[in-house]
Structure 1
């Protein structure tokens, strides 16, 4: 039978809550603390994520979700109007400059609409975007490189190559009026030079009049969701009948996902270990909050058990008792959660810059997230935690009978013992008190132990960051020097000259040194068709691969496919790792041997070894010289300046050389061309390569090692000075810069993990504080009775202090045991998730926390007892009654 008693139940909840308001202050404090834990952690994590994303976006050159590439004007309109697009921004690229003052950071001349300008960090902070055909906007550093003072109305003359970067173009020089400018960001990959749409249209007409296609149009887009961006863009293409896998076709609409988005990275790299780590972290946070709140509610219900028994005697049902406790929990949430949200966000916002200070991930661009997800998520987590925490105490109150409730006391069941004539010992009483409520004791011990265990795991994790392993993966030499073209993967006639190398050698101390070489000839290899398919299918797909094979020259079961051939100075072969075979035949004048470079994952494991030829197999390499002539004169032509209709490609007679595969080798990435093709990547000694191809080699880079740290520091200073300045075409990589970057990365993890440990440690300490405090409040009558029969204040305080020491001693023991179990498990997971991590077991953090816990175990009970013992024994006995 239903009875309308909701109002009565609410009144009972409120009145009983008000009657125990002093104790409920502790509960509100606990809820606020739990909410603070969630909010501060979410604020730090989301701020870290946003700062990391912003850092990536600045490197990418924009923060749109993705880009539809190389579109026609009609495609731009159709895609922008698709319901799956939230916002769109158009960009028309009409030229570029990668030489001279723009040798280090290239410049791109283009029209951008307002959305694209905003998303590309190219909105003028002074002035406005170009509107007239003679107006221009650019960053301050680009203006400085051109010798122009940033002033609105200043004349700016730019020289650039108009047209498509991949197909050449024609030189263009124009003078504009500066309509706007903004500060340059050092992380940006290009200097954006923005012109008006009218200017681009007029230039495009000139470009198309020479027989070329329209300028490249890209459409940057924002989508409804940051998840599964690639699938969303593919669906848009499919809906409109476009193909994202082809190029230069009428229905081609290639797509690109912004790799700076964390969601896209997680979507691409989500694995079971990462999912398990995220789930474990969330469970740890929820459990930490659960520990503190459950303990409070259990003690509150225990204290009110007689009240609930009396309610049962007048007809209150178990369901109504549970509702009373839930309503009390809700009222406590109303008081605690808002405070926790405000304090947590403030602490998170304060800690984020400290955690990220000095790291290369954000530099000076620290972003404090104000996402509603922080507050909504924290509040939901807190409410869930509170209601989970009050479920079991609610059941306990609902099950107890009225008779049991009136006689209820927090007691311990003990075995019968022999009587002692020496009386009870204080430490025995303290130890026995821990058994009065074993669940509470276990919860307090675990909450304290968790923070120490987490600290131990964190120290093992950060201490396992292997700097040398990371450096060896990123580079293979103390210094690698070349031009900006090499580091940007651009083709060039010369990368680094003999004169520059001689100058470097004269000013540095070197041990091992050498160069890598390429040739301006086309290098091809006859390759088994089935073998090529094995290598190409993962990248091209079955359908596109079959189309591509139609264009290859065939010979029986083989096809002639492009290959990457790298020549190395003999000294550099000591940096090459032989996985199978041997390198000696490469240097034998009587043999023609070649080594195959294999691809490995981050852990050094060979990927798909079946793709590669076996030792002793024969490879036929084809060297072919191709050149352009001007059909009007019959002389060599420059395709960038000669009209396309007069350019003709000529081929010299190819030279074929048969090689025997002598080794499968691993070549450090930093010592390669830093890109790869679908065919084999092959290695030869530089002298043999020069003889076989019959042409001069092009030196791509120069690398060297130094004998000691002093020489390394001196070389670092010299190369920094040599490559300084915006007009220098030289760049370099060094172990020192990689080491510094890795140390900052390590520091960020340690600070972030340290903050997490500190917050969870604080929760553990406050849980301990609450357990002792609520225990003292709940046992006031008991303490008064003990004192009335002769127990002194000193003995009572000593008993509480020893209880505290037992708590903390138990926590250290549990932390030690948890570390023994969790250490190897987390270490194995860390090594799988982070290839540069080498796990080392340690117990030092647990040992280091011993004195801290000893102080806490003595100080907190003593202070709390002192604060609560101001009333007389008679007053406490009367109050308890």
Structure 2
């Protein structure tokens, strides 16, 4: 029986035979492609997942995925907008506000009570995953956080007692039945308690006019960046005026400069990965082709064309690439999955994690790796496909370097000459190792530059701070309370009599301004104010009064803040009528209304502005502004504050203790928190842990890339050095035959490898020093909590590793040839040819 084989069958058979004959080359190539794919996949995974997490987090923070929110609508306006047939409208959701839940156990969370249809609830990310939306009059649905705070099991049909205040400020109390719930979203600004429409009708009146001003509409559009334009179009089409609406703050148009910066950063990163992959894959192919050049010459002799030889090499590459890319995709995605949570910890929080499974991650990584392999193998394939049978038979991997004749040449000189016999290979190895070393050093410099003291200075002015939860809440209005008591402070003193305790007080007052200069400055500061406040601002300006946030703080706390203008005298500040105006040292756009030396009338007392002070936001608290933007903050001594306001409740308490008492104090504060859920405790240790997570998030990707690129470089170096030693066996036999000893041969090879690492060291130190003091330093100086500190030990640690490999690797290869006679090795080489 005659069997006919096609050209493809023969090439495929020959390719797989060649693959089996050179397993070591295949393993190195698989690892190289694997590492390159890992880099691409992890970068794609982190970039796309981070983008998705930021977007979803922003949507959750603004309260939903609606692009347009119409507020305080009448029944007629709601009906018109909801029925509008604008082509850009995708979804419409309706809601009617009832009020806020006011149970004592819900004090830490803003809980809005309202009716909503299914679309509105879904767009708010507050749709029941168990049960359903309320239909019967006394049914409610809410999230698990509200249920936990109320102490109610996560079971449908549970009875729920709610105290609430309606939008007119009237208190109410009623009993409900739980008909649905969902997992709480802690980063959302508020929790929702959905009511039935029947309950709202029964609560007020069946007449829709009673519900005017409480209706809201959420709209999802097909163009999230043009939502403002779409909202105006809808109002114009329906001929509606004076309708208040908001567009989603989750989407903001990126400026052209930011787009260019992002594209440059990503482009630079991908170029770096392609270059690192190219350096090793290209070297592997070149070494492989040189070793097998006689084989390709023989194929040409029997009639193989250049196209067939190229195809033969491509067929050999395909299975190797499939294995490397497949494993790289899995490992790269896993690395991205592991690195993303700590990266998010310092910014959005781990609960914001949204891993992307976009096909772009895998398709992009595959295409980038294929491109890298293609450009890396082009030159080697060209050499193999164009070699002639005659040239192949004469070809040896021995490019001798021309040098001046010398009467005597020593081993070190010979090693240096040998080093440049294959300039391109050596340059590729050096570049590969230098890249990973410089990247590692730069990443370390950035990580080491973070200054814990600077970071904590902007967060804390003491070891511990105690306050009510609402002080740091952006949603709950501050009201004087007794959360922090003198009894608590006395217990702290009992544990540590040397503890320094300073109290802070707060109130919102009004300031009169009669001075024309102050009046002009108020006008100038608020001339471009938000229209939402325009009328209120005009009224206040006409009355020549403004809101003042007044803080009473001890001088020892103020001394730890930045007084960026004026001279601060603690003695005068404590005992005379002086105030400090609150400003921002690093914000040139913020204008303090009062000049130093100006007189300020707060209530009925006159104070003099001593200077400007920049106080950390964590100290001031997150008090919502009552009549923004016409507001000025002032700091006065606690004595002056008490004269003005009597005996106020403690707003915040700052505690400094000796190190050996820290554990006892922390234990006591934990007990206080167990007894009082409204007590908020902050400490330097908390921010120190946050700081460590921030360092990790900033450097994790850099360290990962430098380690992988380092592995690629080391593999490249080992492969090149090992191939050089193996391919020069013919040369070593000749040198032995003319009198070179084994010791001299060993020294020559050791020096060749040490020279390579020495060159790597020189270039690494030069580049790291230049980049460290220019480019890296400029990056570090943009961070407010960083201090540039140049360090060389990471550089020397990596270079020491390279020197170790340069000594051990050649010794192991030489050892394999020891014990064989010159005649035996000559016979082996003759047989191979």
**Match for 1:671 among 570, 595, 619?**
619
Q: Distance in 1 between matches of 2:102 and 2:410?
A: 89
Residue of structure 1 equivalent to 2:426: 441
Residue of structure 2 equivalent to 1:723: 673
1:805 aligns with 2:792: no
Residue of structure 1 equivalent to 2:829: 877
Q: Distance in 2 between matches of 1:486 and 1:233?
A: 34
Query: Do 1:63 and 1:258's aligned partners in 2 also have CA atoms closer than 8 Å?
Result: no
TM-score by length of 2: 0.81
**Match for 1:476 among 456, 461, 470?**
461
Residue of structure 1 equivalent to 2:359: 372
**RMSD over aligned Cα atoms:** 4.8
Q: Distance in 2 between matches of 1:760 and 1:86?
A: 47
1:827 aligns with 2:776: yes
Residues 1:377 and 1:197: Cα distance change in structure 2 (over 3 Å): farther
1:300-339 CA-to-partner distances (Å, cap 9, x unmatched) read: 455576788899999999xx77x97599558725641563
Q: Distance in 2 between matches of 1:724 and 1:265?
A: 45
Query: Do 2:34 and 2:324's aligned partners in 1 also have CA atoms closer than 8 Å?
Result: yes
Matches within 5 A, 1:158-557: 158-163=162-167, 168-184=168-184, 189-200=189-200, 203=203, 205=205, 210=210, 213-219=213-219, 221=220, 231-241=225-235, 250-258=242-250, 270=258, 278-300=266-288, 302=290, 328=313, 332=317, 335-337=320-322, 339-346=324-331, 348-349=333-334, 352-353=337-338, 356=341, 360=345, 368-391=355-378, 409-410=396-397, 411-420=399-408, 425=411, 428-489=413-474, 494-497=479-482, 500-508=485-493, 509=496, 510-519=499-508, 521-523=509-511, 525=513, 528=518, 531-532=521-522, 534-536=524-526, 540=530, 551-554=539-542
1:240-277 CA-to-partner distances (Å, cap 9, x unmatched) read: 3579xxxx963432123238xxxx69779949877765
Report how many aligned residue pairs link the two structures: 804
SS in 1 for 2:99: strand
Stretch moving more, 711-720 or 605-614: 605-614
**Match for 1:42 among 41, 44, 47?**
44
Q: Distance in 2 between matches of 1:222 and 1:28?
A: 47
Residue of structure 2 equivalent to 1:564: 549
**Match for 2:687 among 715, 719, 738?**
738
Residues 1:772 and 1:19: Cα distance change in structure 2 (over 3 Å): farther
Matches within 5 A, 1:74-113: 74=79, 77=82, 84=88, 92-113=96-117
**Match for 1:155 among 156, 159, 164?**
159
Residues 1:125 and 1:212: Cα distance change in structure 2 (over 3 Å): closer
Query: Do 2:143 and 2:191's aligned partners in 1 also have CA atoms closer than 8 Å?
Result: yes
Residue of structure 2 equivalent to 1:580: 565
Q: Distance in 2 between matches of 1:242 and 1:784?
A: 92
TM-score by length of 1: 0.77
Q: Distance in 2 between matches of 1:31 and 1:571?
A: 61
Residues 1:18 and 1:490: Cα distance change in structure 2 (over 3 Å): closer
SS in 1 for 2:485: helix
Query: Do 1:706 and 1:712's aligned partners in 2 also have CA atoms closer than 8 Å?
Result: no
Task: Report the alpha carbon displacement of residue 379 of structure 1 after superposing the two structures with TM.
Answer: 1.3
SS in 2 for 1:296: helix
Matches within 5 A, 1:683-702: 683-685=634-636, 696=646, 698-699=648-649, 701-702=651-652
Residue of structure 1 equivalent to 2:3: none
Q: Distance in 1 between matches of 2:89 and 2:326?
A: 34
Q: Distance in 1 between matches of 2:547 and 2:391?
A: 87
Q: Distance in 2 between matches of 1:665 and 1:399?
A: 76
Query: Do 1:273 and 1:829's aligned partners in 2 also have CA atoms closer than 8 Å?
Result: no
Residues 1:223 and 1:309: Cα distance change in structure 2 (over 3 Å): farther
Task: Report the alpha carbon displacement of residue 233 of structure 1 after superposing the two structures with TM.
Answer: 2.6
Q: Distance in 2 between matches of 1:465 and 1:84?
A: 47
1:191-245 CA-to-partner distances (Å, cap 9, x unmatched) read: 43233455456557579655751234444x4866xxxx5x3333433443579xx
Task: Report the alpha carbon displacement of residue 282 of structure 1 after superposing the two structures with TM.
Answer: 3.2
Q: Distance in 1 between matches of 2:580 and 2:831?
A: 90
List gaps (5 residues or longer) in structure 1. 1-7, 624-654
1:737-769 CA-to-partner distances (Å, cap 9, x unmatched) read: 222221233244454443333212211122223
Task: Report the alpha carbon displacement of residue 580 of structure 1 after superposing the two structures with TM.
Answer: 2.1
Query: Do 2:139 and 2:178's aligned partners in 1 also have CA atoms closer than 8 Å?
Result: yes
Query: Do 2:465 and 2:655's aligned partners in 1 also have CA atoms closer than 8 Å?
Result: no
Task: Report the alpha carbon displacement of residue 69 of structure 1 after superposing the two structures with TM.
Answer: 5.0
Residues 1:470 and 1:576: Cα distance change in structure 2 (over 3 Å): closer
List gaps (5 residues or longer) in structure 2. 1-5
Q: Distance in 1 between matches of 2:829 and 2:761?
A: 37
Task: Report the alpha carbon displacement of residue 831 of structure 1 after superposing the two structures with TM.
Answer: 2.1
Task: Report the alpha carbon displacement of residue 474 of structure 1 after superposing the two structures with TM.
Answer: 1.6
Task: Report the alpha carbon displacement of residue 673 of structure 1 after superposing the two structures with TM.
Answer: 4.7
Task: Report the alpha carbon displacement of residue 471 of structure 1 after superposing the two structures with TM.
Answer: 0.9
Matches within 5 A, 1:722-871: 722-724=672-674, 728-776=677-725, 778-779=727-728, 782=731, 799-863=748-812
Q: Distance in 1 between matches of 2:312 and 2:710?
A: 30
